[in-house]
Amino acid sequence: MNRSCITLTLMAAGLTAFAQAPSTEQILQVARATWPGSHSVGIVCNYARSGETIRAMLDGFAPGSTVTVLDVRSRASIYNACASLTEYSPQFVLLLPDDPIVHDGSWEARQVIFHMNHRKIPTLATTPTALAQGAWAVMGPATGNQLQVNPALQGYIEAYGTPISPNRPSAKNTEAGTRANLSVVAAF
């Protein structure tokens, strides 16, 4: 897929069902619609503190997907993490809203977004704060479960809604015993 002309697809119907879901569920829904099938995902976080959240997210990806986590423990390891992450060629990078180091609004998140934008790798997050920092798109409880696209990137992104039936199957992994592959890389 051409990264300079990415179409984000919003599945508008049935979002209220996700109101009680973890805050990453909505942006995963956008990711599944935008990049159907297996894909490569990057996450920069403190894995010791966010590992449970990441393991819970694995069922949200299509079988065969690869989730590469760059484990950071301090501000000093952000540059190493960003450089290393690009070597794995993720199709997009997710920011976790509750990570103690790389969370929306933090200096570390701003650095990850900056470095990924420089390489034209989309960054998806869950809060308007990340959008202000340069994320390509955000969606979650903090946005009222509405997709928000970075206005500075309108030349690259076209966002539109596609109503779906709440019973329509999604690309979410529902096969028992089949999960995305998880790779955790130390960046400190």
Q: CATH topology for 3-186? A: Rossmann fold (3.40.50)
| Of residues 160 and 58, more confidently modeled | 58
pTM: 0.78
pLDDT band for 92, please (50, 70, 90 cuts): very high
Q: Cβ neighbours of residue 132 under 8 Å, at least 6 residues apart?
A: none
Burial class (CB in 10 A: 0-12, 13-18, 19+), 63: middle
pLDDT of residue 155: 60
Reference 69, options 83, 81, 56; nearest CA is 81
List phi, psi (to 5°) of 76.
-65, -20
Convert the pLDDT of each residue in 108-156 to its tens digit.
999 999 999 999 899 999 999 999 999 998 988 998 988 888 888 766 6
pLDDT of residue 24: 82
Average pLDDT over the chain reads: 78
pLDDT of residue 28: 84
pLDDT of residue 159: 40
